């Protein structure tokens, strides 16, 4: 039986085969560990990270889902400063559920279009 991490990596490879970010519509990449969540906007043509944010930047305590939603708003604000309005969402092989979903909803509320 495959372990959880191996299953996530397989899903991530399958997703990445279909998703590609450009400078106008970068890839919104999510990494979720057991304690923290990280988000990046990546230009795959130049192999550069345009914007990055992590939950540690948010000086707020509470539920992880609420912090993830605030992180989505933060990265959307940073994207607006760089005049980025639309992105391609890469959930990193994670289920679209819980913190990953909250992060995406926060980014939508901040003004990003998926």
Pick the CATH number of 4-110 from 3.30.420.100, 3.40.630.10, 1.10.3470.10, 3.40.190.180: 3.30.420.100
pTM of the shown model: 0.91
Q: Mean pLDDT score of the chain, rounded to an integer? A: 94
Q: In the chain, what are the domain boundaries?
A: 4-110
Please, what is the Cα angle at 64 between 80 and 44, to 5 degrees? Answer: 40
List pLDDT tens digits, range 84-100. 999 999 999 999 999 99
The closest alpha carbon to 113, from 88, 95, 81, belongs to 88
CA 20 → CA 1, 62, 66, 92, distances in Å? 31, 34, 29, 13
Of 9-13, 56-60, 87-91, minimum mean pLDDT range? 56-60
- Between CA 59 and CA 42 the distance in angstroms is 25
Torsion of CA 104, 101, 19, 24, to 10 degrees: 0
């Amino acid at each position: 039986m495959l372990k959880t991490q191996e299953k996530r990596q397989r899903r991530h490879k399958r997703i990445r085969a279909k998703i590609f970010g450009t400078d106008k519509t970068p890839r919104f990449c999510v990494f979720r560990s057991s304690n923290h969540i990280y988000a990046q906007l990546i230009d795959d043509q130049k192999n550069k990270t345009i914007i990055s944010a992590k939950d540690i930047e948010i000086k707020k305590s509470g539920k992880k889902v609420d912090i993830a939603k605030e992180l989505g708003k933060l990265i959307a604000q940073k994207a607006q400063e760089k005049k980025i309005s639309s992105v391609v969402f890469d959930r990193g092989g994670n289920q679209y559920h819980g913190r990953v979903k909250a992060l995406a909803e926060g980014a939508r509320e901040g003004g990003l279009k998926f």
